[in-house]
Chain A
């Protein structure tokens, strides 16, 4: 191989795309808006009735009651006085951010794989998705192997890869049951083997990161060798990015909690959490782990023949760090809000559902400093809707991403 080239590549180190939009020259030219609506849903406290949002430099500058705010000079006023404004929606589990390469299934664990090289910004799925209100997705590898690779946190709007990526690596994808099972007699044909394979790989990564931590802290002079396969374990074990886990059903979630949280001390996102896994809610609450449930939204309980809303069952048991996902294309990306609609139909609280689509998902993905709520300083990812996004009769009229209007049905053809 070419070790020199490798070192060169890695010298910029992870995360490659740390959010730093200030350095973007174009931000100075970004338009300034004063968005006036009937109601601002902030996902950070109470809604503001009759509110205005000031946007400049791609960020939210200020927001408050329209009566109490002055629109400074040079701000274009967007008047939607019969509409709502809310933060853009965030999907913690999506596969439609790029070319369809989800799984490379030669090795059982693939920490050498990353997917931000094949993203396709603003592709056909994402164009419709943002018309459905989705502005941020966790674009992740599939569950064909126990460790699918490193995923990208990206926006759905147009631009170059560097424009749309929020964080890369953004998450690690681990799968613990079902799909990654190997059926030809290797270790990993069952759950014991798969969990061994996962533990073994994580342990290797943890040792690698410890060596680098020791070196960087000056505890040793011996510089560890760079290993491309293990490099991205650094942000993972340093707690800067989470692992999103294909884990579902009580027993599997139980193993997720034990192995990934208790033993490996990782930031964990339960990124399916379906079937009967809500029954382990108390353990989830104890560890303060988010559940981004989906794409399945209900469970048909054989014991009493009743359909049960999965999110509602978590909520009933006290889990509050809750959201939904689409696993797009399983559920089309644009139907993220509809996933929440069904969760509410099946018993979830509507206000919690809006938080789940925005700030709770942002926290789970550890990008709540950038997105997930309408607060000064955050990215101006704003939806103008005809009413509550949970009601499928309502729709998105305009979308701002990073303070730029990228979809406006008064000019563009309606997409959803």
Chain B
């Protein structure tokens, strides 16, 4: 067992080779002999026999999925559960149909196609998958290679992915360091879509999936790796026992710092399925705490926005002129792309801020310069609820985070458990994040990423409605990322990211029985056996 790591890496090496082989299969319409190596092909004959690239890829994806999730008709039906849609009314004893990774029908009077695979969810609760905005290192391996692509860092077999989806998180937004690799820019999600492949192993003999893979090594690939722990920036460790401790001292407005930006990757928790695991990159203009503090920083920022707006105008004029047949020199781009996207309203600024004075500065600038802002942390947001609402801002909260009040200023400083109630009352959208964004197996319970639904229970403790608290895990973060057309609620046409729960979503006793991501059944509690197994 001591060389488990090494051995495992060896397996990953093999898997990576397989994956590369498969991606070739998908992208470049393969010869039949190669396609025949896809093991499921031997068991099930795909009804469609098309030669185009696209359908070859689809065929592969269908064949590679678990056989209990795809049938001849390719339709998965969930029947009998109480469906909490989040954005619409709850449907008692409803039916959901899923095809090609999307929700195709939802309601009470839905006919289930004959060949559909059906999950009986009577007596259970169905919700959209939860979304985490602060996840760290879940299904995304770090790389020392600065030219590596995020798509190549994805690891659908990361045990963290299974633990995350096991408590209901189907989508994570993970901050990443922007890399300066030459080909990095050209690798957007559009080009990625065709390059990934399906790797389904859980509950299956992996050697069937990957003929030629050493069976012993394959066995090891199914073992769970030890998990690294990232406690997040707010947490210090106990000098006595080394365990993490949250600071509680009163907040101070940070000193001005130069504005820097960070990238983000939105990753689906599709355990065992690499296809469509990467949802989108850079969904925020992510900047640092202190970036908009101080006259100098603010002047620079105004200047940037001004340049960006001027560029957009110049560009429009240039396009007009070019269309008119004139030969004009195109304007030089004076700012980074993410500033342009912010100005165009494609993304929101996400900025960590906690004190009232810092948040006020951020709101003033956002209103003046007209872009959307999401304040992360927002410890003292309860003091300026109305201002936040007027500025059309939204906040990311962790109800249990505690910063003490300044002495003598208890009514206007520090955190407050009732912040979620205040936000809901003022109409400020709020998302919930867990105390730590990584998955920690050090034994402290209910504080890492896997405590996300429990953190939302604390939002209810603070006085928010259950409805708002559930929205804070689903549609609100989806809207913050501009992904509300894809995730965050159960509606026809949206991604089939669905949880079947054995109780109400915010009840501490509730477990996910089945999780479906992108239409794939990626987690079954009884089969996965990663969370405690007992009879409730």
Contacts and interface: CB of A to CB of B under 8 A. Distances in A.
Given A297-B445, A307-B532, A331-B444, A415 B457 contact: no
A346 B506 contact: no
A142 B445 contact: no
Contacts of A395: 417, 461
B402 interface: yes
Contacts, number: 122
B534 A339 contact: no
Interface stretch (B25-33, B150-158, B238-246, B356-364): B238-246
B461 A295 contact: no
A213 interface: no
Interface string B488-516: 00000000000000000011110000000
B445 A413 contact: no
B461 A124 contact: no
A22 interface: no
Given A393-B460, A413-B411, A347 B508 contact: no
B362 to A, nearest CB: 26
A296 B446 contact: no
Given A142-B240, A330-B238, A393 B446 contact: no
A310 B529 CA distance: 16
Contacts of A416: 417
Interface string A347-360: 10000000000000
Interface string A106-129: 000000000000000000110010
Q: Which of A125, A305, A308, A341 has the most CB of B within 10 A?
A: A305
Main secondary structure of the interface of B (DSSP, over half): loop
B412 to A, nearest CB: 11
A341 B532 contact: no
Given A309-B532, A341-B508, A395-B461, A415 B417 contact: yes
A305 B159 contact: yes
A329 B245 contact: yes
A73 interface: no
Contacts of B506: 393
Nearest to B166: A307
B410 interface: yes
A344 B454 CA distance: 13
A414 B532 contact: no
A347 B508 CA distance: 11
Nearest to B162: A305
Given A103-B240, A125-B248, A296-B443, A306 B529 contact: yes
B444 A330 contact: yes
B241 A330 contact: yes
A298 B243 CA distance: 14
A128 B443 contact: no
B238 A329 contact: yes
A347 B533 CA distance: 8
Interface in B402-441: 402, 404, 410-411, 416-418, 441
Given A299-B443, A305-B223, A413-B410, A345 B508 contact: yes
B250 to A, nearest CB: 10
A297 B444 contact: yes
A335 B244 CA distance: 15
Nearest to A311: B445
B274 to A, nearest CB: 21
A392 B223 contact: no
Contacts of B244: 330
Closest 6 CB pairs of A and B: A297-B445, A296-B443, A342-B445, A300-B441, A305-B224, A347-B534
Interface of B: 159, 163, 223-224, 227, 238, 240-241, 243-246, 248, 400, 402, 404, 410-411, 416-418, 441-447, 454, 457-458, 460-461, 506-509, 529-534
29 contacts: A95-B240, A142-B240, A179-B241, A274-B443, A295-B444, A296-B443, A298-B532, A305-B159, A305-B224, A306-B532, A309-B532, A329-B238, A329-B245, A330-B241, A330-B243, A330-B245, A331-B444, A335-B400, A341-B454, A342-B508, A343-B445, A344-B508, A345-B445, A345-B532, A393-B458, A393-B460, A393-B506, A395-B461, A413-B410
